[in-house]
Amino acid sequence: MMNNTGGYSAFARGAGAYARVGVESGVMSASPHQLITLLFDGAQSAIRTARLHLQDGRAAEKGAAISKALDIVNNGLKAALDQERGGELAERLAALYDYVARLLLAANLHNDDERLQQAAELLENIGSAWREIDPRHSAEGV
């Protein structure tokens, strides 16, 4: 799904998105696979933060956390997809990321914890699968 020939540009786009949303660093030394893992972790963290702010009635903070999650999904995860090489899988992931973004927007608009939870579960499922295909494990024969 990451473009191996142009991997650096995908990596640079992802690294830039990651830096913009203010998630912890280590980005420049991360492989493209590790970067995507960090993006999944950052999106989950932002959604957990949004849920806490929603429960505590802090609308502005909730909105900021959801915006952070949206930025990671749209400008990190979705932007890193290689539409040419990824084919149908990349298209399906792009559609799923669009759906997650719509869930996050609706959750923000309607103060809907259930939609936040649904977005978190979808990202966890994709992120879990992503972690399992870690090329470091493949190279080690694990």
pLDDT digits 0-9 by tens, 59-89: 999 999 999 999 999 999 999 999 899 999 9
Domain chopping of the chain, boundaries: 7-135
Q: Which residue has the higher pLDDT, 84 or 140?
A: 84
* CATH code for the structural domain at 7-135: 1.20.120.340
In the chain, pLDDT over 90 holds for what percent of residues?
68
Residues 6+ apart with CB under 8 A from 4: 85
Among the residue ranges 34-38, 84-88, 97-101, 136-140, the one predicted with the least confidence is: 136-140
Mean pLDDT score across all residues of the chain = 85
* pLDDT value at 25 more than 90: no
User: Which of 21 and 40 is assigned the larger pLDDT?
Assistant: 40
Residue % of the chain over a pLDDT of 70:
75
Secondary structure (DSSP) of the chain: ---STTHHHHHHHHHHHHHHTT--S--TTS-HHHHHHHHHHHHHHHHHHHHHHHHTT-HHHHHHHHHHHHHHIIIIITTT--HHHHHHHHHHHHHHHHHHHHHHHHHHHHT-HHHHHHHHHHHHHHHHHHHHT-HHHHHTT-
For the cut 80, the answer to whether the pLDDT of residue 95 exceeds it is yes
Q: How confident is the model at residue 33 (pLDDT cuts 50, 70, 90)?
A: confident
